[in-house]
Structure 1
């Protein structure tokens, strides 16, 4: 069962008009309406050997289900994704956890490269 969240969604036409009119008018033309939606709770965890590092770090922002639906990727791509989470999104993943996370993702969702 999901948790109801209040999400604010801009009326698309008014928002487009606001951007077309320029920044000085944007605040006056945009209107917002509230929308209710159910979001998944994400109680699923990663399983198996080496899952501690990914459970302790990645589940803070991502559900296991979201990660497990990603396409299989080669190890260098998983490495780049983990580094992007740290550098761009400031994920507080310790240096010593990067390798085990990449190892786990490569093992369960990796592509072998020649």
Structure 2
């Protein structure tokens, strides 16, 4: 009886229309973030470009160092971004360079 039920369940699954799969679009590799006013972009390139495109990052509004720090913390804590805490200062330096 169990075999019949299992086969019936498999037949229903096979006959069901395909479901829409969840997908994540990663940014295009159009380039790296540039050095900004003499501040290296290495830390930002190494951490931020894993999820964000350079174009998306450079289009962000100007924020204060505190606001960017909160954003980095949110990326790490809420979204699970593997941002190395040792890179926070260098990322912040680049983000607020002017």
Shorter-chain TM band:
0.5 to 0.7
Q: How does the TM-score come out when normalised to structure 1?
A: 0.57
Over aligned residue pairs, what C-alpha RMSD do you find? 2.2
User: Distance in 1 between the 2:27 and 2:58 partners?
Assistant: 15
Alignment match, 2:91:
101
Q: Which residue, 46, 61, 65 being the options, matches 2:55?
A: 65
Runs of 4 or more, structure 1, over 6 Å off, are none
Confirm whether residue 80 of structure 1 aligns to residue 70 of structure 2.
Answer: yes
Flag the structure with higher strand content: 1
Gap regions ≥5 residues in structure 2: 1-18, 21-25
Q: Which residue, 30, 36, 39 being the options, matches 1:43?
A: 30
Decide which structure has the larger Cα Rg and report it. 2
Instruction: Name which structure has the greater RCO, CA cutoff 8 Å, separation 6+.
Output: 2
3-state SS of the aligned residue for 2:97?
Answer: helix
> What is the CA deviation profile of residues 19-73 of structure 1, one whole-angstrom value per residue up to 9, with x for unaligned ones?
xxxxxxxxxxxxx78xxxxx96242211113200000111000001001111111
Gap regions ≥5 residues in structure 1: 1-31, 34-38, 109-114
The 8 Å contact of residues 42 and 65 in structure 1, kept in 2 or not, is answered as no
